Amino acid sequence: MKNKKRLIYQLFPSYLIITLLSLFAVSWYMVSFTRQFYLDRTRVELQLNGRMLEKQTVRLIEPLNEAAIDRLCKEAAGDIDTRVTVILPDGRVVGDSEEMPAQMTSHLDREEVRQAFQGRVGVSIRHSDTLKMDMMYVALPLRADNKLVGVMRTSLPVTAIDERIGTLRTRIAIGALLVALLASAISWYVSRRISKPIEHMRDGARRFAQGELTHRLPLPDTYEFSGLAETLNRMAEQLQQRMEEVTSQRKNTEAVLSSMREGVIATDMEQRVISMNTAAASMFSTSVETFQGRSILEVIRNHDFREIMDRSLTNRESIESDILYYQNGRESTFSVHCTPLVDEMQKRMGGLVVISDVTQLRRLENMRRDFAASVSHEIKTPLTAIKGFVETLSTGDLDDSEEIRRFLEIIDKHVNRLAAIIDDLMQLSRIEQENEFQQIGLEPARIEDVLQAAIGFCGESIQNKAVDVRLSCEDDLSGTIDATLLEQAAVNLLDNAVKYSPENSTIRIEALTADNEIQIRFTDQGMGISKKHLPRLFERFYRVDKARSRKLGGTGLGLAIVKHIAQAHGGRVTVESELGQGSTFTLHLPV
């Protein structure tokens, strides 16, 4: 890039050159005019001197008296300080104030002499071979009775004129130098006066460009510069207002996008990320800076997602679909809605992708479907049995009272099972409702008392199974709990441990404070649970071994009730188990 020159270094040389050229032209003109003026004065003076001797010389030529003419020339030269020469028509010199005429050659070849013999006043400036200097010659024709009888030539050296001109030239040069110096100073001052406001405006514009929009330019005295400074200040003020509006809109937009649970990503036509919110970045376990400017497909490596983007941008249509995304060993379900992004002229700019994490929603939908199917199955099974036995009894074909009593016992068993299922569902619904509206009664209570009550409630099943229940509880361990609900949870966990434990085994119940929470652990020595079942173990009606669970009389809602009781207390329930090594269920409650 070509180097730019500052304005002052363009103005100052221009002014200085114009000034110096003007001074040179004026000086040259004055020197030339003065020299010509002196030459004209000298010519007139020589012409006057010649006129003064003209009549005397003509009388000495007619008749010719060479000696008198030569004497007249020498005498006259002493009075007028001028060289005088008289030349006859044949070119012979008959009188000269400096030399002897006899020694002088013919003067017919002299320019001024030829002009004089032609009847004019001859003037010539040339180097004199006789005097060895530059001379001015003025030749006057001499007439007697209208007859040209000779030429009177007067001359002066022009050396004196050159000396005077030289002195004048020196003085003019000195004056021009002084004027040039003064002009340089004035030019510099004027250039600075012109360029300084422009430099101020340039610095102000640079500060505007750097974002200092509150800065204001001073107003110069010059009308044009003042108007320009006012315009720049007004521009900065308006730009500041626009920037504040844009910043406010951007912050509002960022606040809206940041507060959205959905991920929002805007791309250009090459599917490079233009903008995205933090929700989208967190969904893919990355940062906004990682996405910025990169192809969205480089970060979200998913075949279904690529197809949705390509179809939407190619066909100019909005597409919504679910995709499965795997990261860090976890499967997530995302609802992706991709639509073309257009400007105010309806020209395509890229694509807008809205992503919602519907993993939990889809899981709940699956659980709802499974729950509905399980409820239907759990209720339909005893109802079918009851209906069958009732129809058999209603026919009156049975005469054996023992058989009738057995049928009635089976019907009673199924009725009791239905009642247990309904009771558990109602209890589960009540716990969820109380938890939702925060209506459970939390009061300080001793944990050991609650666990002892649960052991007492399960005493019959414990004796029937001949298991040894060992309780270990920290002294005076207490918490803010709903004792009734917590007792129900402990009963459910202990009842499960008893059901799935072999006879003469040991069940350990341990209550302690760890990791800033109360932990109540129920450890049995049963068959254990496979790891694949653990994530769904607390779902409603989920059974690891359905046949055995029904045989043992479970409704499939016990662990779901335990989970919701723990959540109602602001805690959780966890399980650790391996096949053949028993299980440990732990209630985690806040201190």
- The per-residue DSSP string of 64-124 comes to T-HHHHHHHHHHHHHHHT-EEEEE-TTS-EEEESSS-GGGS---TT-HHHHHHHTTS-EEE
Percentage, residues of the chain above pLDDT 70: 84
For residue 444, give the DSSP letter: E
H/E stretch holding 521: strand 517-523
Q: Compute the average pLDDT of residues 540-569.
A: 67
The pair phi, psi for residue 328, each rounded to 5°, is: 55, 35
pLDDT higher at 438 or 309 = 309
Residue 438 has pLDDT above 60, yes or no: no
CA 483 – CA 214 distance, rounded (Å):
66
pLDDT of residue 547: 43
Residue 304 has pLDDT above 70, yes or no: yes
CA angle at 260 for the pair 255 and 264, rounded to the nearest 5°: 95
pLDDT of residue 424: 59
pLDDT of residue 1: 44
Beta partners for residue 583, in sequence order: 577
Mean pLDDT of the chain: 79
Residue 437 has pLDDT above 60, yes or no: no
- The per-residue DSSP string of 409-431 comes to HHHHHHHHHHHHHHHHHHHHHHH
Residue 548 has pLDDT above 70, yes or no: no
Report the amino acid identity of residue 37.
F
CA 233 – CA 50 distance, rounded (Å):
82
Residue 344 has pLDDT above 80, yes or no: no
pLDDT of residue 523: 92
Q: Compute the average pLDDT of residues 519-544.
A: 82
231-281 pLDDT per residue, tens = 888 888 888 888 888 878 877 766 776 667 778 888 888 778 877 787 777
pLDDT higher at 573 or 328 = 573
477-529 pLDDT per residue, tens = 888 888 888 888 888 888 888 888 888 899 999 999 888 899 999 999 888 88
pLDDT higher at 557 or 338 = 338
For residue 516, give the DSSP letter: T
Residue 552 has pLDDT above 70, yes or no: no
Report the amino acid identity of residue 20.
L
pLDDT of residue 269: 81
* Number of other CB atoms surrounding residue 507 within 10 Å: 24
pLDDT of residue 394: 72
115-133 pLDDT per residue, tens = 988 888 899 888 777 667 7
pLDDT of residue 398: 59
Q: Compute the average pLDDT of residues 364-391.
A: 66
pLDDT of residue 429: 63
**Of 120, 135, 38, whose CA–CA distance to 85 is shortest?**
135
- Of the listed ranges 204-218, 395-409, 531-545, the least confidently predicted one is 395-409
Torsion angle of the four alpha carbons 407, 411, 417, 420, in this order, in degrees rounded to the nearest 10? -140
β-sheet with 93-96: strand ranges across: 93-96, 83-87, 147-157, 133-144, 122-128
CA 39 – CA 58 distance, rounded (Å):
27
pLDDT of residue 170: 80
Residue 588: which pLDDT band, with cuts at 50, 70 and 90?
A: very high
Q: Compute the average pLDDT of residues 53-73.
A: 87
CA 151 – CA 211 distance, rounded (Å):
93
Residue 45: which pLDDT band, with cuts at 50, 70 and 90?
A: confident
CA 13 – CA 16 distance, rounded (Å):
5
Q: Is 328 helix (H, G, I), strand (E, B) or coil?
A: coil
pLDDT higher at 490 or 220 = 490
pLDDT of residue 436: 47
Torsion angle of the four alpha carbons 237, 243, 248, 249, in this order, in degrees rounded to the nearest 10? 130
pLDDT of residue 522: 93
pLDDT of residue 435: 54
Q: Is 581 helix (H, G, I), strand (E, B) or coil?
A: coil
pLDDT higher at 581 or 34 = 581
pLDDT of residue 86: 92
Residue 77 has pLDDT above 60, yes or no: yes
Please, are residues 155 and 96 in contact by the beta-carbon 8 Å criterion?
Answer: no
Beta partners for residue 469, in sequence order: 507
CA 81 – CA 359 distance, rounded (Å):
129
Residue 294 has pLDDT above 90, yes or no: no
pLDDT of residue 151: 92
Q: Which two tokens stand for residue 301?
A: 């490596």
CA 567 – CA 570 distance, rounded (Å):
5
